[in-house]
Amino acid sequence: MNESPQISKKILDNPIVGSLTVPIAIVLVGALIIFGVSKMISTEKSYKDLVSELQSKTFGNKWVAAYELSKQLNSSQIPAAEYPWLVENLSSAYKDSIDPRTRGFIIAALGSLKNQAALPVILIAMKDSSSEVKFHALVALSNMPKGITLDWGPVTEFISSDDELLKQAAVLTLATHHVAEAQNLIRSVLQSPTPLLRYSSANALINFKDEAALPTLKEILLLVYPTKNERVLPPLLDVQQIADLKLSVLLSLQKNNWNKLNDIIFELAQNDQNTAIALKAKEVLNTLKN
């Protein structure tokens, strides 16, 4: 099948996109999900073979090679000595690629390296004409080493974007890197009429231990699961989405050692209908009490 992948706005329906605890999750959701693709190139090809295909003037479906490369770099231990070669060749391939799908997956591949040498091309990709490529660039930036020196102004501008996916990715990136000057902007998203944007903002603000997020975080943890036979239509969340949201908040609270919601976590541990969430709540509660 030759149908190309598109990063659907339905990605917003997956609350893992808003998780700040495992930034690579946004790569897995946003960069590596393929819709309508039934056959990929062989995973036996090395990353060097895939880079070569990206640079080929005759190889077709370069986006497939870029996609496969992004998966391979994310899951494999690539020798650090190879990073300069990869960054140089992928940066060149990005600039030579006409297809936004290919450019997007190249940026996803660069982001999975978590290497600061990739920053120049990632920053270029943030200005790409394709919103999908911009999304990949924001995700890649979230994976960069903490403490990098960067002008965060262009990233904060995405919080004012009409594209909710870009806004959500910007919130993730800024909070992941603890960009203090972005805290008020992230807090402003708490007023969004879109629930998932509010939830992403609240989760992000855990990184700052911002008490303005507490009412929304409490709302997330106390969300009621729909019944088994209940038909769930957007913008309502289904059982798995609610569980993912709760888990994301619990992990963030645990990671940041923030005990402001221990009473709610206790209630969750005692009463949540999802056994996995109840068990995680007990674990987090024990951690935060110590």
pLDDT at 43: 52
Helices 131-142 & 164-176, crossing angle to 10 degrees? Answer: 10
DSSP string, 129-150: S-HHHHHHHHHHHHTSPTT---
CA angle in degrees (0–180, nearest 5) for 26-166-232: 70
Alpha helices in 193-271 (DSSP H): 195-205, 214-221, 239-255, 262-271
64 and 41 in contact (C-beta within 8 Å)? yes
Cβ neighbors of 214 (< 8 A, separation 6 or more) are 260, 261
Cβ neighbors of 179 (< 8 A, separation 6 or more) are 152, 155, 156
Q: Tokens standing for 64?
A: 């497939």
pLDDT tens, the chain, 290 aa long: 443 444 433 333 333 333 333 333 333 333 333 333 333 444 578 899 999 989 887 777 888 889 989 888 888 778 889 999 999 999 999 999 999 999 999 999 999 999 999 999 999 999 999 999 999 999 999 999 988 999 999 999 999 999 999 999 999 999 999 999 999 999 999 999 999 899 999 999 999 999 999 999 999 999 999 987 777 766 688 899 999 999 999 999 999 999 999 999 999 999 999 999 999 999 999 999 87
Q: Count how many Cα atoms sit within 13 Å of the Cα of residue 6 in the half-sphere of its side chain.
A: 5
